[in-house]
Chains A and B, each alone.
Chain A
């Protein structure tokens, strides 16, 4: 049985427009992968599919490309949806 934690999910730029949220607290499984995390966010907000193939996540302020590598979440962690960057 996977433990679930309350994680703050932040949405920026186009992802904020697509979801209508800038941040929300979501119960997410403690042991997961970035791919599974993205799939769960897609379930919550199907409109995020528009960002498929261009998005990365940031977990505890570290970029994580979508993939299968194990990801451990803790209570109160911060996950951000990061559309393609365009600063400068």
Chain B
């Protein structure tokens, strides 16, 4: 019985799933697109929006992307992951675009592998590589004066990543 499952699992082709969406991310869907009968582990990373930035309260974040290039850069990240961790089965990377309220997920990554080590290492590598190479930008909308209608415009700043280009 278990050998049939193993065979069935290894027959299943590996998947790289990359998506950008202005809808809230479904963690359940990210997880279920990575889970595999041949794997004993799915490692998950979820990036969420923080309520403080440079000492000010954040109202929301706004993301924009160079969408076709995000897909080509993240496909290259998937290829890197597969050459570094050949046992990795499925990779699912979903990033949200547009307005993202505080405490909601802006990015979700799920990676499966037969044993947990590869999946965990690959997920850590994947989020670092995404931050370094995916052309995505977040604008932080901070609260400065709650009475000012224009603050959302005036106080928005483009966050600069501390990770430099390669």
- The answer, among B95, B130, B135, for a CB contact under 8 Å with A82, is B135
Complexed CA–CA distance, A84 and B64 (Å): 13
Contacts of B65 in A (CB 8 A): 87
How many pairs, one residue from A and one from B, have CB atoms within 8 Å of each other in the complex? 75
Complexed CA–CA distance, A3 and B66 (Å): 28
**Is B3 an interface residue when CB atoms closer than 8 A count as contact?**
no
Beta-carbon contacts under 8 Å, B145-166 to A: 158-161, 163, 165
Count of chain A residues with a beta carbon within 8 Å of a chain B beta carbon: 19
| CB proximity of B32 to chain A, nearest CB, Å | 22
Beta-carbon contacts under 8 Å, A1-40 to B: 10, 12-14, 17
Additional pairs, 11, CB under 8 Å, beyond known A56-B165, A83-B137 = A10-B66, A12-B135, A12-B137, A14-B158, A63-B165, A83-B160, A85-B132, A86-B136, A87-B65, A87-B130, A88-B138
**Is A69 an interface residue when CB atoms closer than 8 A count as contact?**
no
**Is B103 an interface residue when CB atoms closer than 8 A count as contact?**
no
Contact A85 B64 (CB under 8 A): no
Contact B161 A86 (CB under 8 A): yes
Complexed CA–CA distance, A12 and B68 (Å): 13
Contacts of B136 in A (CB 8 A): 85-88
Contact B66 A83 (CB under 8 A): no
| CB proximity of A1 to chain B, nearest CB, Å | 32
Complexed CA–CA distance, A61 and B159 (Å): 22
Contact B165 A13 (CB under 8 A): no
Contact B131 A13 (CB under 8 A): no
**Is B27 an interface residue when CB atoms closer than 8 A count as contact?**
no
A50-71 toward B: CB 8 Å interface, digit per residue (1/0)? 0000101010010101000000
Contact A88 B127 (CB under 8 A): yes
Known: A54-B160, A56-B165, A63-B165. A85 touches B133 (CB 8 A): yes
Contact A86 B72 (CB under 8 A): no
| CB proximity of B62 to chain A, nearest CB, Å | 10
**Is A73 an interface residue when CB atoms closer than 8 A count as contact?**
no
Contact A12 B66 (CB under 8 A): yes
Query: Which residue on A lies nearest to B65, using beta carbons?
Result: A87
